Amino acid sequence: MPIILTILLFNSPLAGISQDGGEDGIEGVTSDYSVALDYVKGELSDAYTRLHVIPGLPSERLEKKYILDIDTCMDFFSSQGAEPLYQKLLLEAAMYDLQLREALASIDSLTEGVEAVLESFLEARLLEALHVRRFGSSSSLLHLNAEHPLQYIVASRLLAEIIQAQTKRRVLPSELSRLLGLHFERDEIAYLGEIFNDRRNSKLRELHQLFPEGVAILIQDFYGGWGGCMAGGIPTTRVFTDPPGARIRLISDFSSLLCRARGLPLMHRDCSTPDTISDGAEVNQGRYWVEVRWGSGASYCGLHRLVSSDGETWIKLTGDQPCE
């Protein structure tokens, strides 16, 4: 039976959910998040007595900073039976959510649209948690603020846009911009906002209707290359496989033409140096011959554009053979 693959642009985190049973997965996580949020809120009610706080800070600041002892909180989650890293992410999401709401409450004339964006933040955090559950060893996801996944960046900038539009301020309040960990760049908002939209969820549902069982999905997710590349920098993207763990080899279309011109096989070392990448690795955008091999022995080979500006375009891949 041919393996059916699909490239879905900008959609990797939700694809992670699919393995856990479609939308049931996110419902489960949302429930976990609610537990985390309730727990954090409960603990904050008497932060001094029950939670460890960093000594030396003025007490009035401590109340607002929500500085929690992660170990204490993780003990709580362990008692709930969750995986440690996953618990930590949920907890951080809950703490961050509270901090963000606090910061927003201090901004005057901020009314419309904020709730929706906060939901986006929540979703971004939860998707990260799902990522960790799926790619448990991915060190880049250990620190939420160290590397900004797309959803987080988009949500941050959408929030910044709303705040700036409603308050007519050119600069975000420092407390908030520090919390968001981003510099507001208006030029990038429109593009990012375009990518991050509600259609993503419906596309995922559509995908699962098309291939209800045993679907193997190759996902291409825009990752980096925003600023700084106006002077001819190389835009990058990330490639994920589902089922995860496949080995991916890429050679540029240019190299493939060179092989053909020399009468050599596609990935022969005398004409090309295939990039062998692991699941989730970052690659230059471009047009490639893509070879995917799963541990089960299934494989796929085909020529595809790994160009994220295609937005939500899906490319259905068919076949069951490696590149020669």
Partner 1 sequence: MNSGLERFKLLLSEYRGLAAWVVAGSAGATFVAYFLSIMPPYPEGVAVLTGIVQLLTLVLVFHFFDGVSKKRVSRHLRVLSLCLPLTFILYFIALEILVVKVNLPSGSYVVGFECTAKSLEVFADGCPLPGSSGLAKVIEGSAFSLDEIWTLRSIVASRIILLALWLAFFVLLSSLFSVFLVYNIGRDARR
List binders of partner 1 among 117-176 (CB under 8 A). Answer: none
Number of residues that bind partner 1 (CB under 8 A): 28
Query: Least distance from C-beta 150 to partner 1, angstroms?
Result: 13
CB-CB contact of 234 with 225 (8 Å): yes
From candidates 105, 230, 263, 295, binder to partner 1 by CB under 8 A: 230
Which of 185, 257, 319, 321 contacts partner 1 by CB under 8 A? 257
Distance (Å, whole) CA 220 – CA 7: 6
Residue 54 makes contact with partner 1 by CB under 8 A? no
Answer for which of 258, 264, 277, 315 binds partner 1 (CB under 8 A) is 258
The correct pick among 11, 151, 156, 285 for binding partner 1 (CB under 8 A) is 285
Q: Taking Cα atoms as reference points, which of 43, 19, 29 lies closest to residue 86?
A: 29
Distances (CA, A) of 125 to 83, 109, 137, 155, 219: 16, 27, 18, 10, 20
Scanning 14-22, 69-77, 136-144, 220-228 for contacts with partner 1 by CB under 8 A, the matching segment is 220-228
Q: Least Å distance between CB 165 and partner 1? A: 20
Cβ closest to partner 1, residue 22 vs residue 286: 286
Does the footprint of partner 1 cover residue 287 (CB under 8 A)?
Answer: yes
- DSSP states along 128-159: HHHHHHHSTT-GGGSSTTTS--HHHHHHHHHH
CA 76 – CA 87 distance, rounded (Å)? 9
User: Judged by CB, which is closer to partner 1: 175, or 188?
Assistant: 188
Contact range with partner 1 by CB under 8 A, out of 43-51, 140-148, 221-229, 294-302: 221-229
Closest CB 188 distance from partner 1, rounded Å: 8
Of 303, 295, 297, nearest to 321 by C-alpha is 297
Dist. CA 37–CA 92, nearest whole Å: 9
Which of 113/224 has CB closer to partner 1? Answer: 224
Q: How far apart are CA 265 and CA 258, in angstroms?
A: 10
CA 256 to chain centre: 32
Question: Residues in the site for partner 1, rule: CB under 8 A?
Answer: 191, 225-226, 228-235, 252-255, 257-258, 261-262, 283-288, 305, 307, 309
